Amino acid sequence: MLRDNGFEKVKLFDAAASTMSALAGSGIEVMVAIPNDQLETMNDYDSAKKWVKRSVTRYLFNGGVDVKYVAVGNEPFLSSYNGSFLNTTLPALQNIQNALNEAGVGDKIKATVPLNADVYYASAVTPSSGRFRADIADLMTNIVEFLAKNSAPFTVNIYPFLSLYSDKSFPFDFAFFDGNAAPVVDGNIQYTNVFDANFDTLVSALAAVGHSAMPIIVGEVGWPTEGDINARAAYAQRFYGGLLRRIAAKDAKSIAPGNFERHWGIFRYDGQPKFAMDLSGQGGQSFLVPAKGVEYLPARWCVFNPATEDLSKLGESITYACTFSDCTALGYGSSCNGLDERGNASYAFNMFFQVQNQADESCYFGGLAMVTTQNASTGTCNFTVQIASAAVQATAASSVVALLSGVSVMLLLLFVL
């Protein structure tokens, strides 16, 4: 699917063997990653060397994986983490880059730290006043110095949607690229969108510590399609359309944060495009090429059992189902927000049922649920059917019954600006 649509780069959140093997021979440039919970382990140099050998150099054979970067953590300095990774990120970065250097690949593969845009701010409102956050200013300066020493890029994740999400008074049109917003004036520059303003704030912050020419990678950028009143496919299409036109013009310019966190991306869980999109940035309205050969589990859904009389455990059962699946579409402003209590129950039960690969015992809930072959989708609310993973197909072929949880890999566009 990635190759069919012309994707040339991909950012991963780990270095799982199954994912890396799938990317072997694809010609796609890859950023592999070390999750935040492994940063402390990487403070030991021997552990860092073993990780590099296991997750990077073993794939660097002819026809292997084109690894370009190693992401050391992901947004480890978010304010919501309360400083959990402040002491372990830089040592991990140093050890991984040094291990890459020792392995003889450090000239081609660079370690970097994907950071959220909250590590910097505009001290006087305008982008030209950009500075690194006061509580981590020294740490950020040390990280930037190390990146520069190793000719590595600064990686930032910029999400204009979050400006709307965190500030209800934020000017709506300023989150997009189509020039409908009142401009923010900074000297001779007029900013008509928050992405450009945010990006230039980072440039100013880097300049303030003596590295105005440091290359910058936008590691993540996007708009969610579910989980919030502003998380809609139409808005995502508007955002991506403007972003891609900007790139084509060569302009240099967990759900803790919100339910929308599970709904970024331009493809659905089954590899089908969410909306029309022209990756060339020319403004076309054709759909991307969907994933081929996708197989689904049988057309079965788990819904509320209308014959049930005792509803005393209904709320508890819904909570349980949503804890172990994804019910974010039921949230305020989302596509399934209009369901009644029994509709909510059906949605929750079905999500749990599909995550459990339609195991019969997963659609019971003390008699509150039942399996049906009639699609329970209604209006904008889609009741999904799980895809048949390779693991499920293999276990079915060998007549081994296994209960597998759904696993998803988020693939994001990687742009070097």
Of 220, 226, 309, 341, the catalytic one is 220
Between the alpha carbon of residue 37 and those of residues 33, 48, 88, the distances in Å are 12, 14, 10
Closest CA to 67 of 86, 54, 80, 79: 54
Closest CA to 28 of 59, 62, 56, 67: 67
295 is catalytic: no
Closest CA to 195 of 215, 178, 209: 178
CA atoms of 217 and 314, how far apart (whole Å): 48
SS3 240: helix
Please name the amino acid found at residue 98. N
**Both tokens assigned to 174:** 């300023």
CA atoms of 282 and 346, how far apart (whole Å): 42
Q: Which residues are bridge partners to 372 per DSSP?
A: 301
SS3 286: coil
Closest CA to 268 of 176, 194, 335: 335
8 is catalytic: no
CA atoms of 175 and 381, how far apart (whole Å): 26
Exposed/middle/buried for residue 5 (C-beta within 10 Å: 0-12, 13-18, 19+): middle
Please name the amino acid found at residue 363. C
Active site residues: 75, 220
